[in-house]
Amino acid sequence: MNNPDNPDNPFNEPVLAKPIDRRIILVAGVILMASLGSVYAWSFFTKPLQEAYHWNNAQVSLVFSLAVAGLGFAALYTGPLVSKLGGRRLMIRSAKFFVAGYLIAALGLFLGSGIIGDISSPVVSWISFSILAIGYGAIGGIGLGTGYVASVSTVAGWFPDKKGFATGMIVMGFGIGALFMSKVFAPFSMKLASNNVAVAFVFIAGVFAVIMAIACRYIYSPHATAGLLHHKPSEADNYEPLLHQRVRLWLICFTYSLAGLGIISMLSPLMQDVSSAANPGLSATELAAAGATLIAIASIGNSLGRLFWAWASDLIGRVNVFILLLGSGGIAYLMLPYVASPFLFSILICYVIASYGGGFGTIPSLISDLYGAKRMSALHGLVLTGWATAGLMAPPFFGYLYDKFPDQAANYVYYICAGSLLFSTVLVFTFKRLHKHCIMPVPASQSQA
């Protein structure tokens, strides 16, 4: 609850003897986001789960879809709470849900490993899978959404003079966490657990509990005497978002997420098709390696794109950056059907995924510019439901196209993604005049009135 007796510390958070360096808060936020970003490495556990529990692709994918949905809709609920409960309390709540998700998922896997019966029994399989899905997907997803919005809003409040850079760093942490988890932490955990996913989940939960608890100790909400030191009142502080503007912001996030998540879900098969056409002599193992390499490189591009485009928005403006990254991404998709070189194909794919990441790095700052820092968290949470919706729709829809029209699916995907991004570009352009008005400073006489 807020503390009306002390307006400089409304959330009853610890007060330091001397002001804290805001860069420490930025680092703590990045660490928290990197921990949460590990959810993107879920596919690493797909084959071990299928081999041990005999679940099909649809079942295992459903767990990740639930986590995506949980993130988006928990963000919608959490957004308005940031200004009421403060960043520290919400991030601690996020850590508890996130770690509990791994532990509950591990419980489900332990039950399915013979404790309540053989996994071949439909009842045992259903119980085990349901607990896994509730834990990792639903409960863990709540932790994801809570931490994502709270981290971005809190850190952005400490850097009103460098909003793009700060939010870019935070959301880049999410991408780095996925890469580190899939390439380092998950393989190490599975090796330590002798390839037992349940044991690995317990170990992962323990490590994240320690890391996130330490990081939360260095999170402080941006109080008026500290975090908003560089804040300059603007027209955005008094501008109320209209319904059609909220809808357009949601559609922007939905459309660029549709293109990004859709292509990410098909990276390996698309790369294998291009490589096979360019060099028919490649073996299945070599083709799979090419697909895996592109996924890793694209993950790096996703992470760097979040920081680069957000940082660029501090220099040339949020709307200008969005027009550039979405428009150029749409053009890149239109070029892909005519690319036969695996190398050029990889470059274009990495670029469009970097642009997808750039959208996430820039949109919090765009919202803050339009409607003020106090309303950013609530509107950011709303916008993220667009990403969640795209996450539920894009992978299965593009997978259906690939199954139904194997010879033409790639081109269909490229054109759908291009259309989505170009439509999104038009939507962003409609905010240009409003953005120019909202970033105008309010005269000192008015701001003090």
* E-assigned strand segments in 47-154: none
Give the whole-angstrom CA distance, residue 135 versus residue 49: 15
Q: Is 285 exposed, middle or buried (0-12, 13-18, 19+ CB in 10 A)?
A: exposed
What confidence score (pLDDT) does residue 224 get? Answer: 39
Give the whole-angstrom CA distance, residue 261 versus residue 395: 7
% residues pLDDT > 90 (the chain): 40
What's the mean pLDDT in 287-306?
Answer: 84
Q: How far is CA 31 from the centre of its chain?
A: 14
Residue 4 in this model has a pLDDT that exceeds 70: no
Q: Count of H helices and E strands in the chain? A: 19, 0
What confidence score (pLDDT) does residue 358 get? Answer: 92
Question: In a 3-state reduction of DSSP, which class is residue 441?
Answer: strand
What's the mean pLDDT in 126-144?
Answer: 93
153: CB partners within 8 A, 6+ apart: 79, 82, 87, 364, 376, 377, 380
Q: Which residues pair with 441 in a beta bridge?
A: 234
Residue among 358, 272, 273 nearest 311 (CA): 358
Give the whole-angstrom CA distance, residue 345 versus residue 368: 36
Domain ranges of the chain: 21-231, 234-449
Residue 448 in this model has a pLDDT that exceeds 90: no
What confidence score (pLDDT) does residue 127 get? Answer: 93
What confidence score (pLDDT) does residue 179 get? Answer: 83
Residue 432 in this model has a pLDDT that exceeds 80: yes
What DSSP element (H or E) covers 161?
none
Q: What's the whole-model pTM score?
A: 0.82
Question: In a 3-state reduction of DSSP, which class is residue 120?
Answer: coil
What confidence score (pLDDT) does residue 14 get? Answer: 66
Query: When comparing pLDDT for 5 and 356, which is higher?
Result: 356
What confidence score (pLDDT) does residue 197 get? Answer: 93
Query: When comparing pLDDT for 418 and 441, which is higher?
Result: 418
What confidence score (pLDDT) does residue 225 get? Answer: 40
What DSSP element (H or E) covers 355?
helix 342-371
| pLDDT, tens only, 59-80 | 887 888 888 888 888 988 888 8
The CB density around residue 388, as the number of other CB atoms within 10 Å, is: 25
Most trustworthy range by pLDDT among 196-210, 234-248, 352-366, 406-420:
196-210
Residue 114's region, left for phi above 0, alpha for psi from -120 to 50, else beta, is left
What confidence score (pLDDT) does residue 447 get? Answer: 47
What confidence score (pLDDT) does residue 348 get? Answer: 94
What confidence score (pLDDT) does residue 443 get? Answer: 62
199: CB partners within 8 A, 6+ apart: 106, 193
What confidence score (pLDDT) does residue 408 get? Answer: 86
What confidence score (pLDDT) does residue 16 get? Answer: 62
| pLDDT, tens only, 299-351 | 888 889 999 999 999 999 999 999 999 999 999 999 999 998 999 999 999 99
Calculate the average pLDDT of the chain. 86
- CATH architecture observed for domain 234-449: Up-down Bundle (1.20)
The CB density around residue 6, as the number of other CB atoms within 10 Å, is: 12
Query: When comparing pLDDT for 352 and 13, which is higher?
Result: 352
The tokens describing 55, both together, are 């679940």
What's the mean pLDDT in 286-311?
Answer: 86
Query: When comparing pLDDT for 30 and 263, which is higher?
Result: 30
What confidence score (pLDDT) does residue 425 get? Answer: 96
% residues pLDDT > 70 (the chain): 91
Are domains 21-231 and 234-449 of this chain identical in fold?
yes
Residue among 220, 215, 429, 181 nearest 325 (CA): 429
Query: When comparing pLDDT for 448 and 47, which is higher?
Result: 47
What confidence score (pLDDT) does residue 220 get? Answer: 84
What confidence score (pLDDT) does residue 8 get? Answer: 52
The tokens describing 210, both together, are 């320690």
What confidence score (pLDDT) does residue 426 get? Answer: 95
Give the whole-angstrom CA distance, residue 121 versus residue 326: 49
Max Cα–Cα distance, the chain, nearest Å:
75
The tokens describing 270, both together, are 């698309």
CATH class of 21-231: mainly alpha
